[in-house]
């Protein structure tokens, strides 16, 4: 059977009996079996659970027909979870040896919400250990490869989730974005990646990296699919006191998009720059006004990020003592050790004011920049990464160079605003290109509206990396 590329195609196929949910699971697992030994996108498969859920889907459709989709908007949608999301009874490792044998006794809110909406859980995806990285190479279980060209990285930290979508191992996948960990791998793999506003999607049951920056998002082939998943994952959760319901966001009838000059930095790949400008012109052709804007503190975002984030990492990883679950602290890999020590240093007596407090103040400056910009424009268009995917091993030995890969994504996390990474084409080497839209806090409806407008205007057809 031909595997459908969108939620709509999947659900139409199910209702018209072109295929059953069980056959869908067969087809995805067959592709994984055949190709994933070269990609390494999955750490654990949940075949048994997937077939149970698929049978349930087929039963519901048999009994209720089309009405089955009303209560279960994601009925029959196959999902893979980044291995940071706790899944009851299914091993969850954070791609770290510390949790190599950890089987959670409860599921993350997002996992539960997706299952309640009718999604089928296929397995757990590889990532940089504890989500520390921009290439997938920090996984304790081996690097994930970019499905488009296997000598290139898929991006990170949500490396396996992004690779799994572009290799058609799953229809949707979850991820976390602390400094770009959804948008950048989506960009490197040629798919749609969505980072919501900080505090809009519950983080209960998701292994914490940096708590003032972490947001829970996901990947799909189209903006439409990503929006459908967000409708299910968002909203208050009594188990997470940092979640706020999205306010109704009336988008202006005359939308303006800002082009921030600070994002077109020295060292920006010329093909990346050209693709972002072309995407901006697509919006212009649809009557959207483009406005040149300035976000003067952008250059400091990466430094703010690499103080605040390791500080919070050192605190969150303090809980891994090997007593209640997991192995002891000797099992941490190099990158986790580096961040724990960096964080401990910037928080330690005598250095707190110079580093952490200073970073929190500059963070306010970055937020002010965005607030000023969003008084003038409804969204901002920018590159996601200075270059397309880089080669495996290229930055692995130089932590600072790897950290700088987050230079165009970290500001959105520092400010807590949403970002949507959208593919736009390919470089001359055949690597995916794309752009990101950022909006004010809670402006998801505007971002989705613009994303759909773009994909409709260019007649976007989802592309998988190989047949």
Q: In what order do the strands lie in the sheet with 42-45?
A: 42-45, 120-125, 78-82, 172-177, 215-220, 192-195, 419-426, 432-439, 379-382, 256-260, 289-293
Can you read off the two tokens belonging to residue 446? Answer: 């505007």
Q: How many residues bind another protein (CB under 8 A)?
A: 54
Q: How far is the CB of 38 from another protein (least distance, A)?
A: 31
**Residue 438 CB, nearest approach to another protein (Å):** 14
Q: Judged by CB under 8 A, which of 35, 264, 325, 426 binds another protein?
A: 325
Q: Among residues 367, 80, 343, 361, which one has the least CA distance to residue 198?
A: 367
**Distance between CA atoms of 421 and 187, rounded to whole angstroms?**
6
CA-closest candidate to residue 24, choices 75, 87, 63: 75
Q: How far is CA 110 from CA 73, 84, 206, 236, 368, in A?
A: 15, 12, 9, 11, 31
Closest listed residue to residue 345, CA positions, set 303, 304, 314, 300: 314
Cβ burial of 319 (10 Å; 0-12, 13-18, 19+) is exposed
**b/e code 287-315 from CB counts within 10 Å (16+ = b):** ebebeebebebbebbbebbbbbbbbbbbb
Does position 93 interact with another protein (CB under 8 A)? The reply is no
State yes or no: residue 142 binds another protein (CB under 8 A): no
d(CA 315, CA 347): 10
**DSSP 8-class letter at 419:** E
Question: 303 by DSSP, 3-state: which?
Answer: helix
**Residues 358-377 within binding reach of another protein (CB under 8 A):** 358-365, 367
Q: Which stretch binds another protein (CB under 8 A): 33-41, 170-178, 340-348, 418-426?
A: 340-348
Among 245, 286, 294, 348, which residue sits at the site for another protein (rule: CB under 8 A)?
348
Assess 222 for contact with another protein (CB under 8 A): no
Closest approach of Cβ 253 to another protein, in Å? 28
d(CA 253, CA 292): 20
Among 74, 192, 307, 438, binds another protein (CB under 8 A): 307
Q: Is 1 in the site for another protein (CB under 8 A)?
A: no
Distance CA 50, CA 79 (A): 10
Q: Which stretch binds another protein (CB under 8 A): 2-10, 246-254, 315-323, 424-432?
A: 315-323
Residue 91 or 256: the one with the smaller Cβ distance to another protein is: 91
Output the six-digit token pair for 202.
Answer: 């519950």
The piece of 56-64, 139-147, 306-314, 427-435 that touches another protein (CB under 8 A) is 306-314
Catalytic residues: 82, 157, 181
Binding map of another protein across residues 275-304, x = CB under 8 A, - = no contact: ----------------------x-xx--xx
Structure tokens at 295: 């976000």
Q: Looking only at residues 103 through 122 of this chain, which bind another protein when binding is defined by CB under 8 A? A: 103, 105-106
Q: Running DSSP on this structure, what letter comes out for residue 176? A: E
Residue closer to another protein, measured from CB, 21 or 359: 359
Q: Which of 44, 149, 212, 251 binds another protein (CB under 8 A)?
A: 212
> How many helices and strands, by DSSP H and E, does the chain display?
15, 11
Which position among 69, 85, 141, 198 is part of the footprint of another protein (CB under 8 A)? Answer: 198
Site string for another protein, 381-420 (x = CB under 8 A): ------------------xx--x-----------xx----
- Tokens 């002010």 locate to 368
Shorter beta-carbon distance to another protein: residue 178 or 314? 314
- The residue among 42, 41, 48, 59 whose CA lies nearest residue 25 is 48
| Closest separation in Å from C-beta 337 to another protein | 6
Question: In the bound complex, what is the minimum distance in angstroms from residue 380's beta carbon to another protein?
Answer: 17
**Is residue 91 part of the contact set for another protein (CB under 8 A)?**
no
Cβ(326)–Cβ(99) under 8 Å?
yes
Which listed residue (441, 447, 451, 460) binds another protein by CB under 8 A?
441
Tokens describing residue 197: 């506003």
Residue 239 found at the interface with another protein (CB under 8 A):
yes
DSSP secondary structure string, 340-364? HHHHHHHHSTTTTIIIIIHHHHHHH
Options 241, 245, 294, 457; binder of another protein; rule CB under 8 A: 241
- What is the nearest approach in angstroms of another protein to the Cβ of residue 168? 34
* Coil/strand/helix, residue 202: coil
Q: Would strands 78-82 and 120-125 be described as parallel, antiparallel, or unpaired? A: parallel
Binding site for another protein (CB under 8 A): 102-103, 105-106, 198-199, 212, 238-239, 241-242, 244, 297, 299-300, 303-304, 306-307, 314, 318, 321, 323-326, 329-330, 332, 337-338, 340-342, 344-345, 348, 355, 357-365, 367, 399-400, 403, 415-416, 441
């Amino acid at each position: 059977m031909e595997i459908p590329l969108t939620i709509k195609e999947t659900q139409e196929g199910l209702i018209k009996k072109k295929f059953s949910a069980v056959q869908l699971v067969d087809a995805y697992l067959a592709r994984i079996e055949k190709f994933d030994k070269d990609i390494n996108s999955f750490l654990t498969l949940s075949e048994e659970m997937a077939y149970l859920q698929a049978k349930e889907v087929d039963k519901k459709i048999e009994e209720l027909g089309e009405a089955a989709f009303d209560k279960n908007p994601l009925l029959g949608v196959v999902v893979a979870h980044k291995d940071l999301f706790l899944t009851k009874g299914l091993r969850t490792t954070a791609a770290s040896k510390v949790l190599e044998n950890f089987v959670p006794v409860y599921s993350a809110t997002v996992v539960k919400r997706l299952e309640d909406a009718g999604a089928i859980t296929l397995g757990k995806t590889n990532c940089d250990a504890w989500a520390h990285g921009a290439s997938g190479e920090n996984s304790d279980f081996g690097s994930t490869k970019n499905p488009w060209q296997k000598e290139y990285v898929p991006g990170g930290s949500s490396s396996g989730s992004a690779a799994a979508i572009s290799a058609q191992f799953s229809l949707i996948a979850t991820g976390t974005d602390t400094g770009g960990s959804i948008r950048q791998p989506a960009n490197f793999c040629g798919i749609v990646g969505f980072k919501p506003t900080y505090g809009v999607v519950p983080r209960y049951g998701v292994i914490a990296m940096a708590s003032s920056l972490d947001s829970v998002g996901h990947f799909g082939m189209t903006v439409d699919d990503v929006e459908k998943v967000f409708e299910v994952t968002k909203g208050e959760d009594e188990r997470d006191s940092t979640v706020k319901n999205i306010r109704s966001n009336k988008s202006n009838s005359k939308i303006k998009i800002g082009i921030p000059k600070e994002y077109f930095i020295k060292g920006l790949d010329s093909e990346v720059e050209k693709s972002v400008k072309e995407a901006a012109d697509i919006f212009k052709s649809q009557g959207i006004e483009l406005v040149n804007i300035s976000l003067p503190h952008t250059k400091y975002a990466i430094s703010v990020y690499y103080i605040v984030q390791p500080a919070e990492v050192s605190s969150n990883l303090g809980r891994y003592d090997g007593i209640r679950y997991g192995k002891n602290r000797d099992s941490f890999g190099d990158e986790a050790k580096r961040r724990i020590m960096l964080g401990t240093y910037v928080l330690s007596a005598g250095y707190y004011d110079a580093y952490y407090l200073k970073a929190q103040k500059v963070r306010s400056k970055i937020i002010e920049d965005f607030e000023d910009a969003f008084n003038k424009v409804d969204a901002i268009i920018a590159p996601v990464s200075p270059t397309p995917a880089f080669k495996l091993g290229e930055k692995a030995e130089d932590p600072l160079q790897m950290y700088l890969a987050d230079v165009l994504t970290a500001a959105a996390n520092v400010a807590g605003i949403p970002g949507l990474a959208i593919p736009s084409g390919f470089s001359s080497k055949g690597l995916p290109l794309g752009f990101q839209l950022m909006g004010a806090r809670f402006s998801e409806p505007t971002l989705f509206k613009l994303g759909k407008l773009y994909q409709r205007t260019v007649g976007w057809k989802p592309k998988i990396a190989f047949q």
